[in-house]
Structure 1
Amino acid sequence: MEQRTLDIKVVSAKGLKDVNLIGKMDVYAVVSISGDSHPKQKTKTNVDKDCGSNPTWNYPMKFTVNEIAAKQNRLTLVFDLRCERTFGDKDIGQVVVPVSELLDSKGDENSMKCVTYQVRTSSGKPKGELNFSYKFGDKVVVEAVAPKAAEPVTAYPAPGAGPSVPAYPPPAGHPYGAYPPPQPGYGGYPPPPAAPYGGYQPPPPGYAYPPPQPGYGYPPAPGYGQPPLQQPQKKKNSKLGMGLGAGLLGGALGGLLIGDMVSDAGAYDGGYDGGFDDAGGFDF
Protein backbone atom coordinates (compact mmCIF):
# COMPACT_ATOMS: atom_id res chain seq x y z
CA MET A 1 0.00 0.00 0.00
CA GLU A 2 1.52 3.34 -1.15
CA GLN A 3 1.37 6.38 1.16
CA ARG A 4 2.85 9.87 1.03
CA THR A 5 3.98 12.26 3.72
CA LEU A 6 2.27 15.64 4.01
CA ASP A 7 4.21 18.50 5.64
CA ILE A 8 2.07 21.40 6.86
CA LYS A 9 3.02 24.70 8.53
CA VAL A 10 0.13 26.55 10.21
CA VAL A 11 1.22 30.15 9.66
CA SER A 12 -1.43 32.59 10.96
CA ALA A 13 -5.06 33.74 10.96
CA LYS A 14 -6.74 37.13 10.89
CA GLY A 15 -10.16 38.66 11.36
CA LEU A 16 -11.42 35.84 13.60
CA LYS A 17 -14.58 36.11 15.66
CA ASP A 18 -13.89 37.39 19.19
CA VAL A 19 -15.51 35.00 21.68
CA ASN A 20 -14.16 36.77 24.80
CA LEU A 21 -16.15 39.50 26.51
CA ILE A 22 -13.20 40.73 28.58
CA GLY A 23 -9.54 40.68 27.52
CA LYS A 24 -7.84 39.39 24.39
CA MET A 25 -8.17 35.81 23.14
CA ASP A 26 -5.50 33.09 23.46
CA VAL A 27 -5.88 31.12 20.19
CA TYR A 28 -4.57 27.73 19.07
CA ALA A 29 -5.40 25.34 16.20
CA VAL A 30 -6.10 21.58 16.20
CA VAL A 31 -5.28 19.99 12.81
CA SER A 32 -6.51 16.49 11.88
CA ILE A 33 -6.79 14.21 8.83
CA SER A 34 -9.52 11.56 8.65
CA GLY A 35 -11.43 9.63 6.06
CA ASP A 36 -12.95 6.38 4.94
CA SER A 37 -10.87 3.40 6.17
CA HIS A 38 -8.06 5.78 7.17
CA PRO A 39 -6.77 6.13 10.74
CA LYS A 40 -7.37 9.58 12.19
CA GLN A 41 -4.29 11.73 12.85
CA LYS A 42 -4.37 14.85 15.02
CA THR A 43 -1.83 17.54 16.01
CA LYS A 44 -2.14 20.74 18.05
CA THR A 45 -0.29 24.03 17.59
CA ASN A 46 1.08 26.21 20.35
CA VAL A 47 -1.18 28.84 22.00
CA ASP A 48 -0.69 32.45 20.89
CA LYS A 49 -1.28 34.47 24.07
CA ASP A 50 -3.16 37.80 23.94
CA CYS A 51 -3.35 37.66 20.16
CA GLY A 52 -7.00 38.60 19.88
CA SER A 53 -8.48 38.01 16.43
CA ASN A 54 -5.08 37.83 14.63
CA PRO A 55 -3.00 34.88 15.95
CA THR A 56 0.40 33.82 14.56
CA TRP A 57 1.93 30.33 15.03
CA ASN A 58 4.33 29.22 12.24
CA TYR A 59 3.92 25.72 13.67
CA PRO A 60 5.18 22.76 11.53
CA MET A 61 3.56 19.29 11.56
CA LYS A 62 3.71 16.08 9.49
CA PHE A 63 1.04 13.60 8.38
CA THR A 64 0.91 10.39 6.33
CA VAL A 65 -1.86 10.03 3.75
CA ASN A 66 -3.04 7.28 1.44
CA GLU A 67 -2.56 8.70 -2.05
CA ILE A 68 -5.23 6.47 -3.59
CA ALA A 69 -7.80 7.50 -0.97
CA ALA A 70 -6.77 11.14 -1.41
CA LYS A 71 -7.24 11.00 -5.20
CA GLN A 72 -10.69 9.42 -4.66
CA ASN A 73 -11.60 12.42 -2.45
CA ARG A 74 -11.97 10.24 0.68
CA LEU A 75 -9.58 12.21 2.93
CA THR A 76 -10.26 15.56 4.62
CA LEU A 77 -7.91 18.04 6.32
CA VAL A 78 -9.65 19.93 9.17
CA PHE A 79 -8.43 23.01 11.12
CA ASP A 80 -10.32 23.71 14.38
CA LEU A 81 -9.53 27.17 15.80
CA ARG A 82 -10.15 27.45 19.53
CA CYS A 83 -9.80 29.99 22.33
CA GLU A 84 -8.09 28.83 25.53
CA ARG A 85 -9.99 29.87 28.68
CA THR A 86 -9.83 29.08 32.38
CA PHE A 87 -13.33 27.64 32.62
CA GLY A 88 -13.28 25.62 29.37
CA ASP A 89 -12.03 26.34 25.86
CA LYS A 90 -14.41 27.74 23.27
CA ASP A 91 -14.65 27.16 19.52
CA ILE A 92 -13.92 30.11 17.22
CA GLY A 93 -14.22 28.65 13.74
CA GLN A 94 -13.28 25.80 11.41
CA VAL A 95 -11.60 25.25 8.03
CA VAL A 96 -12.29 22.06 6.02
CA VAL A 97 -10.00 21.26 3.05
CA PRO A 98 -10.22 18.12 0.84
CA VAL A 99 -6.79 16.50 0.54
CA SER A 100 -7.49 15.82 -3.16
CA GLU A 101 -7.65 19.57 -3.71
CA LEU A 102 -4.18 20.02 -2.23
CA LEU A 103 -2.85 17.06 -4.23
CA ASP A 104 -4.10 18.51 -7.54
CA SER A 105 -2.50 21.92 -6.93
CA LYS A 106 0.67 20.85 -5.15
CA GLY A 107 2.98 22.74 -7.56
CA ASP A 108 6.69 22.32 -7.00
CA GLU A 109 7.32 19.31 -4.77
CA ASN A 110 10.62 20.77 -3.52
CA SER A 111 9.09 23.85 -1.85
CA MET A 112 6.15 24.66 0.44
CA LYS A 113 3.06 26.12 -1.18
CA CYS A 114 1.17 28.87 0.72
CA VAL A 115 -2.63 28.91 0.60
CA THR A 116 -5.43 30.87 2.31
CA TYR A 117 -8.86 29.48 3.26
CA GLN A 118 -12.02 31.03 4.65
CA VAL A 119 -12.83 30.42 8.34
CA ARG A 120 -16.46 29.64 9.15
CA THR A 121 -18.11 29.86 12.57
CA SER A 122 -20.23 27.13 14.14
CA SER A 123 -23.32 28.66 12.51
CA GLY A 124 -21.69 28.41 9.04
CA LYS A 125 -21.06 32.12 8.55
CA PRO A 126 -17.65 33.18 7.11
CA LYS A 127 -15.54 35.07 9.62
CA GLY A 128 -11.76 35.42 9.20
CA GLU A 129 -9.02 33.74 7.16
CA LEU A 130 -6.42 31.02 7.80
CA ASN A 131 -2.96 30.92 6.19
CA PHE A 132 -0.90 27.73 5.98
CA SER A 133 1.66 26.10 3.68
CA TYR A 134 2.04 22.45 2.66
CA LYS A 135 4.20 20.01 0.68
CA PHE A 136 3.81 16.37 -0.27
CA GLY A 137 6.84 14.14 0.29
CA ASP A 138 8.06 10.97 -1.37
CA LYS A 139 6.01 7.84 -1.66
CA VAL A 140 6.38 5.26 1.09
CA VAL A 141 5.45 1.59 0.70
CA VAL A 142 3.77 0.24 3.82
CA GLU A 143 3.23 -3.48 4.01
CA ALA A 144 -0.20 -4.51 5.07
CA VAL A 145 -0.19 -6.69 8.15
CA ALA A 146 -2.11 -9.88 7.55
CA PRO A 147 -4.47 -10.91 10.31
CA LYS A 148 -3.12 -13.57 12.60
CA ALA A 149 -4.41 -17.01 11.76
CA ALA A 150 -6.59 -18.57 14.38
CA GLU A 151 -4.90 -21.35 16.28
CA PRO A 152 -6.56 -24.77 16.10
CA VAL A 153 -8.65 -25.54 19.12
CA THR A 154 -8.46 -29.01 20.62
CA ALA A 155 -11.84 -30.07 21.88
CA TYR A 156 -13.01 -33.20 23.61
CA PRO A 157 -16.09 -35.10 22.40
CA ALA A 158 -19.23 -34.38 24.30
CA PRO A 159 -20.43 -37.16 26.63
CA GLY A 160 -22.91 -39.42 24.91
CA ALA A 161 -21.90 -38.24 21.42
CA GLY A 162 -20.68 -41.70 20.40
CA PRO A 163 -19.22 -44.97 21.64
CA SER A 164 -16.26 -44.51 23.92
CA VAL A 165 -12.92 -45.80 22.69
CA PRO A 166 -10.95 -47.84 25.23
CA ALA A 167 -7.48 -46.63 26.16
CA TYR A 168 -5.94 -50.04 25.48
CA PRO A 169 -6.30 -51.98 22.25
CA PRO A 170 -9.35 -54.28 22.48
CA PRO A 171 -8.94 -57.99 22.09
CA ALA A 172 -9.52 -59.43 18.69
CA GLY A 173 -13.10 -60.23 17.87
CA HIS A 174 -14.74 -57.69 20.19
CA PRO A 175 -15.52 -54.16 18.98
CA TYR A 176 -15.54 -52.60 22.50
CA GLY A 177 -12.89 -54.64 24.27
CA ALA A 178 -13.72 -56.74 27.31
CA TYR A 179 -16.79 -54.69 28.23
CA PRO A 180 -20.12 -54.68 26.40
CA PRO A 181 -21.14 -51.50 24.57
CA PRO A 182 -23.06 -48.90 26.59
CA GLN A 183 -26.80 -49.23 26.40
CA PRO A 184 -29.01 -46.23 25.69
CA GLY A 185 -30.66 -44.91 28.78
CA TYR A 186 -29.44 -44.18 32.26
CA GLY A 187 -25.76 -45.18 32.20
CA GLY A 188 -26.35 -48.67 30.78
CA TYR A 189 -29.50 -49.48 32.70
CA PRO A 190 -32.77 -49.76 30.78
CA PRO A 191 -35.10 -46.80 31.30
CA PRO A 192 -38.18 -47.33 33.50
CA PRO A 193 -41.39 -48.29 31.67
CA ALA A 194 -43.57 -45.44 30.61
CA ALA A 195 -46.34 -45.12 33.15
CA PRO A 196 -47.88 -42.49 35.32
CA TYR A 197 -45.66 -41.10 38.09
CA GLY A 198 -42.51 -41.74 36.05
CA GLY A 199 -42.82 -45.53 36.00
CA TYR A 200 -43.51 -45.93 39.71
CA GLN A 201 -46.79 -47.15 41.17
CA PRO A 202 -48.99 -44.49 42.75
CA PRO A 203 -49.43 -44.66 46.54
CA PRO A 204 -52.41 -46.73 47.79
CA PRO A 205 -55.56 -44.78 48.59
CA GLY A 206 -55.68 -43.48 52.11
CA TYR A 207 -51.94 -43.83 52.56
CA ALA A 208 -51.16 -40.59 54.22
CA TYR A 209 -51.00 -39.04 57.60
CA PRO A 210 -54.48 -38.61 59.17
CA PRO A 211 -55.66 -35.03 59.50
CA PRO A 212 -55.12 -33.49 62.92
CA GLN A 213 -57.94 -33.91 65.39
CA PRO A 214 -59.85 -30.82 66.47
CA GLY A 215 -58.28 -29.32 69.52
CA TYR A 216 -55.08 -31.28 68.99
CA GLY A 217 -52.15 -29.22 70.00
CA TYR A 218 -50.68 -27.40 72.86
CA PRO A 219 -53.07 -25.29 74.95
CA PRO A 220 -52.32 -21.60 74.81
CA ALA A 221 -50.04 -20.44 77.56
CA PRO A 222 -51.68 -18.28 80.22
CA GLY A 223 -51.11 -14.65 79.69
CA TYR A 224 -50.23 -15.15 75.98
CA GLY A 225 -51.88 -12.49 73.98
CA GLN A 226 -54.42 -9.90 75.08
CA PRO A 227 -56.84 -11.10 77.83
CA PRO A 228 -60.55 -11.13 76.93
CA LEU A 229 -62.55 -8.12 77.88
CA GLN A 230 -64.71 -8.86 80.96
CA GLN A 231 -67.93 -7.05 81.69
CA PRO A 232 -68.16 -5.48 85.16
CA GLN A 233 -70.68 -7.24 87.43
CA LYS A 234 -73.43 -5.27 89.09
CA LYS A 235 -73.15 -5.08 92.86
CA LYS A 236 -76.15 -6.24 94.82
CA ASN A 237 -77.63 -3.94 97.43
CA SER A 238 -76.48 -5.78 100.54
CA LYS A 239 -78.05 -3.19 102.82
CA LEU A 240 -81.49 -3.80 101.35
CA GLY A 241 -81.11 -7.59 101.73
CA MET A 242 -79.84 -7.31 105.29
CA GLY A 243 -82.64 -4.94 106.23
CA LEU A 244 -85.30 -7.19 104.72
CA GLY A 245 -83.83 -10.28 106.38
CA ALA A 246 -83.55 -8.54 109.73
CA GLY A 247 -87.18 -7.37 109.50
CA LEU A 248 -88.45 -10.84 108.75
CA LEU A 249 -86.33 -12.36 111.53
CA GLY A 250 -87.49 -9.71 113.98
CA GLY A 251 -91.13 -10.31 113.07
CA ALA A 252 -90.77 -14.04 113.59
CA LEU A 253 -89.09 -13.58 116.97
CA GLY A 254 -91.70 -11.04 118.04
CA GLY A 255 -94.52 -13.40 117.13
CA LEU A 256 -92.92 -16.18 119.15
CA LEU A 257 -92.48 -13.92 122.18
CA ILE A 258 -96.05 -12.65 122.03
CA GLY A 259 -97.37 -16.22 121.78
CA ASP A 260 -95.28 -17.25 124.80
CA MET A 261 -96.56 -14.28 126.80
CA VAL A 262 -100.18 -15.10 125.99
CA SER A 263 -99.61 -18.69 127.01
CA ASP A 264 -97.91 -17.64 130.24
CA ALA A 265 -100.76 -15.23 131.03
CA GLY A 266 -103.37 -17.92 130.65
CA ALA A 267 -101.42 -20.22 132.85
CA TYR A 268 -101.01 -17.53 135.49
CA ASP A 269 -104.72 -16.80 135.69
CA GLY A 270 -105.62 -20.40 136.22
CA GLY A 271 -102.85 -20.92 138.69
CA TYR A 272 -103.86 -17.83 140.69
CA ASP A 273 -107.20 -19.13 141.51
CA GLY A 274 -106.05 -22.64 142.14
CA GLY A 275 -103.06 -21.47 144.01
CA PHE A 276 -104.94 -19.48 146.51
CA ASP A 277 -107.33 -22.29 146.93
CA ASP A 278 -104.48 -24.63 147.59
CA ALA A 279 -102.99 -22.13 149.99
CA GLY A 280 -105.94 -22.46 152.21
CA GLY A 281 -104.95 -26.04 152.65
CA PHE A 282 -101.90 -25.04 154.66
CA ASP A 283 -102.35 -24.74 158.37
CA PHE A 284 -101.04 -21.55 159.99
Structure 2
Amino acid sequence: MECRKFEITLIFTIDLENLHRLCKMKVYARISLGNDPNTEKGTPIDQHSKTNPVWDYSMSYVIEESMVQHHGTMVVINLYCKRKLRDRYIGKGNVKSQGALKFSFRFRDKFYIDKLLLAESIRAWSHSAD
Protein backbone atom coordinates (compact mmCIF):
# COMPACT_ATOMS: atom_id res chain seq x y z
CA MET A 1 0.00 0.00 0.00
CA GLU A 2 1.35 3.42 -0.95
CA CYS A 3 1.63 5.76 2.06
CA ARG A 4 3.14 9.05 3.18
CA LYS A 5 4.08 10.53 6.48
CA PHE A 6 1.97 13.62 7.19
CA GLU A 7 3.37 16.08 9.72
CA ILE A 8 1.42 18.97 11.20
CA THR A 9 2.66 21.62 13.62
CA LEU A 10 0.14 23.71 15.50
CA ILE A 11 1.91 27.00 16.14
CA PHE A 12 -0.47 29.51 17.75
CA THR A 13 -3.85 31.23 17.71
CA ILE A 14 -4.62 34.89 18.22
CA ASP A 15 -7.60 36.90 19.40
CA LEU A 16 -9.75 34.09 20.77
CA GLU A 17 -12.83 35.16 22.69
CA ASN A 18 -12.04 35.27 26.42
CA LEU A 19 -14.22 32.58 27.99
CA HIS A 20 -12.85 33.10 31.53
CA ARG A 21 -13.35 36.57 32.91
CA LEU A 22 -11.82 35.87 36.32
CA CYS A 23 -8.94 33.51 35.52
CA LYS A 24 -6.61 32.60 32.67
CA MET A 25 -7.84 30.57 29.73
CA LYS A 26 -6.03 27.27 29.29
CA VAL A 27 -6.40 26.34 25.63
CA TYR A 28 -5.51 23.12 23.84
CA ALA A 29 -6.30 21.62 20.45
CA ARG A 30 -7.47 18.19 19.28
CA ILE A 31 -6.56 17.33 15.70
CA SER A 32 -8.09 14.57 13.60
CA LEU A 33 -8.16 13.54 9.98
CA GLY A 34 -11.64 13.81 8.52
CA ASN A 35 -13.37 13.74 11.95
CA ASP A 36 -12.15 10.14 12.45
CA PRO A 37 -11.87 9.72 16.25
CA ASN A 38 -9.23 7.00 15.76
CA THR A 39 -6.84 9.63 14.35
CA GLU A 40 -7.37 12.23 17.08
CA LYS A 41 -4.27 13.66 18.78
CA GLY A 42 -3.89 16.59 21.12
CA THR A 43 -1.57 19.43 21.99
CA PRO A 44 -0.43 20.26 25.50
CA ILE A 45 -2.47 22.89 27.33
CA ASP A 46 -1.14 26.44 26.99
CA GLN A 47 -1.07 27.70 30.58
CA HIS A 48 0.24 31.23 29.95
CA SER A 49 -1.05 32.99 26.87
CA LYS A 50 -4.77 33.43 27.66
CA THR A 51 -6.52 34.36 24.39
CA ASN A 52 -3.35 33.97 22.29
CA PRO A 53 -2.18 30.41 23.04
CA VAL A 54 1.17 29.23 21.69
CA TRP A 55 2.04 25.55 21.25
CA ASP A 56 4.62 25.05 18.48
CA TYR A 57 3.71 21.37 18.84
CA SER A 58 4.18 18.78 16.09
CA MET A 59 2.30 15.57 15.38
CA SER A 60 2.70 13.02 12.63
CA TYR A 61 0.48 10.49 10.90
CA VAL A 62 1.04 7.74 8.38
CA ILE A 63 -1.68 8.08 5.78
CA GLU A 64 -2.57 6.29 2.58
CA GLU A 65 -1.59 8.02 -0.64
CA SER A 66 -5.25 8.02 -1.68
CA MET A 67 -5.99 10.44 1.20
CA VAL A 68 -3.41 12.86 -0.23
CA GLN A 69 -4.90 12.62 -3.72
CA HIS A 70 -8.54 12.86 -2.53
CA HIS A 71 -9.49 16.54 -2.25
CA GLY A 72 -12.28 15.77 0.25
CA THR A 73 -9.86 14.66 2.99
CA MET A 74 -9.85 17.27 5.72
CA VAL A 75 -7.69 18.04 8.75
CA VAL A 76 -9.98 19.07 11.60
CA ILE A 77 -8.58 21.25 14.38
CA ASN A 78 -10.89 21.68 17.37
CA LEU A 79 -9.98 24.16 20.10
CA TYR A 80 -10.96 23.66 23.75
CA CYS A 81 -10.64 25.61 26.98
CA LYS A 82 -9.61 23.45 29.96
CA ARG A 83 -11.99 23.75 32.92
CA LYS A 84 -12.34 21.93 36.25
CA LEU A 85 -15.75 20.37 35.60
CA ARG A 86 -15.82 19.93 31.83
CA ASP A 87 -13.70 21.39 29.07
CA ARG A 88 -15.42 23.98 26.91
CA TYR A 89 -15.42 23.70 23.14
CA ILE A 90 -14.16 26.93 21.54
CA GLY A 91 -14.45 26.19 17.82
CA LYS A 92 -12.94 24.59 14.74
CA GLY A 93 -9.91 25.98 13.03
CA ASN A 94 -11.60 26.02 9.66
CA VAL A 95 -14.85 27.78 10.67
CA LYS A 96 -13.92 30.02 13.62
CA SER A 97 -15.59 33.41 13.42
CA GLN A 98 -13.17 35.19 15.76
CA GLY A 99 -9.42 34.74 15.91
CA ALA A 100 -6.76 33.23 13.70
CA LEU A 101 -4.97 29.89 13.79
CA LYS A 102 -1.49 29.35 12.41
CA PHE A 103 -0.22 25.89 11.58
CA SER A 104 2.15 24.27 9.13
CA PHE A 105 2.14 20.87 7.48
CA ARG A 106 4.13 18.78 5.02
CA PHE A 107 3.99 15.45 3.28
CA ARG A 108 7.08 13.27 3.20
CA ASP A 109 8.11 10.94 0.36
CA LYS A 110 5.92 7.99 -0.54
CA PHE A 111 6.68 4.55 0.83
CA TYR A 112 4.99 1.17 0.83
CA ILE A 113 3.58 -0.63 3.86
CA ASP A 114 1.60 -3.80 4.40
CA LYS A 115 -2.10 -3.12 5.24
CA LEU A 116 -1.98 -5.15 8.46
CA LEU A 117 1.15 -3.34 9.62
CA LEU A 118 -0.48 0.02 8.81
CA ALA A 119 -3.56 -0.81 10.90
CA GLU A 120 -1.40 -1.89 13.84
CA SER A 121 0.74 1.27 13.57
CA ILE A 122 -2.27 3.58 13.50
CA ARG A 123 -3.76 1.87 16.53
CA ALA A 124 -0.46 2.14 18.45
CA TRP A 125 0.05 5.82 17.54
CA SER A 126 -3.50 6.79 18.46
CA HIS A 127 -3.07 5.24 21.92
CA SER A 128 0.34 6.87 22.49
CA ALA A 129 -0.93 10.33 21.52
CA ASP A 130 -2.88 10.77 24.76
**What is the TM-score normalised by the length of structure 2?**
0.79
Q: Secondary structure at the match of 2:68?
A: helix
State the secondary structure of the residue aligned to 1:58.
strand
Q: What is the Cα deviation at residue 70 of structure 1?
A: 2.8
Give the corresponding residue for 1:136: 107
CA distances 1:42-63 after superposition (whole Å, capped 9, x unpaired): 1111111142110000111101
* Alpha-carbon distance in 1 for matches of 2:115, 2:82: 40
- Structure 2 distance, partners of 1:26, 1:75, is 29
Q: What CA distance in whole angstroms lies between the structure 1 residues aligned with 2:6 and 2:37?
A: 15
| Match runs of 1:196-275 below 5 Å | none
Name the CA distance, whole Å, in 2 between partners of 1:134 and 1:69: 15
Give the Å deviation of 1:20.
1.6
Q: Matched residues, percent identical?
A: 30
2:60 to 48, 59, 62: 62
SS in structure 2 opposite 1:138?
coil
* Aligned position for 2:120: none
Q: Runs of 4+ in structure 1 displaced over 6 angstroms?
A: none
What residue is the counterpart of 1:238 in the other structure?
none
> For residue 23 of structure 1, what is the aligned residue in structure 2?
23
Q: Tell me, what secondary structure is at the counterpart of 1:18? A: coil
**SS across alignment from 2:98:** strand
Whether the aligned pair in 2 keeps the contact of 1:33 and 1:42 (CA below 8 Å) is yes
Length-normalised TM-score, structure 1: 0.38
- Asked if the contact 1:13–1:56 (Cα under 8 Å) also holds between the matched residues in 2, the reply is yes
Task: Rate the CA distance shift 1:93–1:67 in 2: closer, same or farther, 3 A.
Answer: same
Q: Offset of 1:144 from its aligned partner? A: 3.1
Q: Deviations over 1:82-102 (max 9, x none)?
A: 100111100111124xxxxxx
Shift of 1:17: 1.6
Query: Per-residue displacement from partner, 1:120-162 (whole Å, max 9, x unpaired)?
Result: 1xxxxx11001111111111212234xxxxxxxxxxxxxxxxx
Alignment: residue pair count? 116
Q: How does 1:1-284 map to 2 (within 5 A)?
A: 1-34=1-34, 40-96=38-94, 120=96, 126-145=97-116
Greater Rg over alpha carbons, structure = 1
- How far did 1:39 drift? 8.2
**What is the RMSD of the two structures over their aligned residues, measured on CA atoms?**
1.9
Q: Report 1 or 2 for greater relative contact order, CA contacts < 8 Å, sequence distance ≥ 6.
A: 2
Please give the alpha-carbon distance, in whole angstroms, between the structure 2 residues aligned to 1:47 and 1:39.
20
Q: Distance in 1 between matches of 2:79 and 2:70?
A: 27
Q: Deviations over 1:193-237 (max 9, x none)?
A: xxxxxxxxxxxxxxxxxxxxxxxxxxxxxxxxxxxxxxxxxxxxx
Q: Distance in 1 between matches of 2:115 and 2:103?
A: 32
**1:21, 1:87 → 2: CA distance?**
17
Question: In 2, Cα distance between the equivalents of 1:70 and 1:18?
Answer: 36
Unaligned 5+ segments in structure 2 are 117-130
One-letter amino acid of the counterpart of residue 43, structure 2: T
Deviation at 1:68, TM superposition (A): 1.7
